[in-house]
Amino acid sequence: MYKNDEIRIINLPKIEDDRGNLSFIEEEIHIPFKIKRSYWVYDVPGGETRGSHAFKNSKEFIIALSGSFDIVLHDGTEEKKFSLNRSYYGLYIPKMIWRNIENFSTNSLALILSSVPYNEADYIRDFNQFLTLLKKCKNQLYITVL
């Protein structure tokens, strides 16, 4: 797998100042894609889970602009949990990764940057279908390498 396509926490620039701190993101510099869409999730009632899907093509970068939440990822083999609770870092999620976002704190605000415009056809909303598609992708890659 290419380094750019690995799930990872990316630390953002943080300009510390007595007047307040500032962080920023530039596409293809701090995150490994061009930003085609930004959306945010807020006013999440206690105990709710967002996500529960994977994307065929979309790459995403998720930041906890305010408050905290957990992102649980599954790459078809193993599950990994990331807790986001600061606005100066985020989680990079490549395509074809199953995700749940849960444990939202009161008043939390999740900013999501995406590499594609909104397209419902890019969603995989069934976990078994995700696993099947993942197997097909891996087989195809294997055949291409051969």
Could you list the residues that contact ligand TYD (CB under 6 A)?
37, 39, 41, 50-51, 118
**Angle, alpha carbons 11-45-51 (nearest 5°):** 55
Q: How far is the CB of 30 from ligand TYD (least distance, A)?
A: 21
- Spatial contact of 77 and 110, defined as CB atoms under 8 Å apart: no
Least distance (Å) between residue 51 CB and ligand TYD: 4
Of 102, 132, 125, the C-alpha closest to 55 is 125
Taking the least distance from each CB to ligand TYD, the nearer of 20 and 117 is 117
Residue nearer to ligand TYD on the CB measure, 21 or 119: 119
CB of 123 to ligand TYD, least distance (A): 7
Unique residue bearing structure tokens 């953002």: 12
